[in-house]
């Protein structure tokens, strides 16, 4: 009963527009496997934070990851390339997790105001030299109101 109250209390405090995770088949992220998330912004007067979510195993070969992100609003598309550091110089993973899987919530856009209300799509593709990129377990998007 106490757990149920705790869950209800904190689930009401988040204003996530979208929180998606897409499992990568066989932990092999190919160039063709673009991860797409669609969402709707009802109030464009508020600022939002948009995050790239990533889960990889301890067997991931690199200390970083490059991705290409396509931000689409139906009419326009903006494409940006991002690089994220995933490990320290000594090889220690920066992500949270236990055992063999590490989680990251990495900023794409912070304090961002959408130009208009409506439907949007974010598409992510891996941009590393390896195809497929091995040991990527999940990829996702988190969009939430600023301050939440």
For the chain, 148 residues long, the average pLDDT of each consecutive 10-residue run is: 37 74 98 97 96 98 98 94 97 92 98 96 98 98 91
Does residue 81 fall inside a structural domain? yes
Which is nearest to 144 in space by CA: 118, 102, 109, 116?
A: 109
Regarding pTM above 0.95, the answer is: no
The pLDDT score that the predictor gives to residue 65 is 98
Q: What is the CATH number of the domain that holds 91?
A: 2.60.120
Residue 2 domain-assigned?
A: no
What residue numbers bound the domain in which 91 lies?
17-145
> Please, where are the H alpha helices in the chain?
2-11
- 140 domain-assigned: yes
Question: Would 48 be classed as within a structural domain?
Answer: yes
**Can you tell me the distance from the alpha carbon of 15 to that of 48, in angstroms, rounded to the nearest whole number?**
10
Beta bridge partners of 106: 52
pLDDT of residue 10: 40
Residue 6 domain flag: no
- pLDDT for the residue numbered 103: 98
* 12, part of any domain: no
């Amino acid at each position: 009963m106490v757990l149920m109250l705790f869950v209800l209390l904190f689930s009401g405090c988040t204003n996530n527009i979208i929180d998606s995770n897409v499992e990568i088949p066989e932990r092999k992220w190919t160039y063709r496997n673009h991860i797409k998330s669609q969402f709707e912004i009802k109030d464009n007067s508020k600022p939002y934070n948009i995050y790239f979510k990533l889960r990889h195993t301890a067997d991931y070969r690199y200390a970083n990851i490059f991705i290409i992100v396509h931000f689409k609003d139906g009419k326009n598309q903006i494409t940006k390339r991002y690089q994220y550091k995933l490990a320290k110089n000594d090889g220690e993973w920066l992500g949270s997790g236990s055992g063999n899987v590490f989680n990251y919530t990495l900023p794409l856009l912070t304090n961002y105001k959408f130009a208009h209300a409506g439907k949007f799509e974010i598409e992510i593709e891996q941009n590393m030299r390896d195809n497929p990129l091995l040991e990527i377990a999940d990829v996702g998007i988190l969009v939430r109101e600023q301050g939440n």
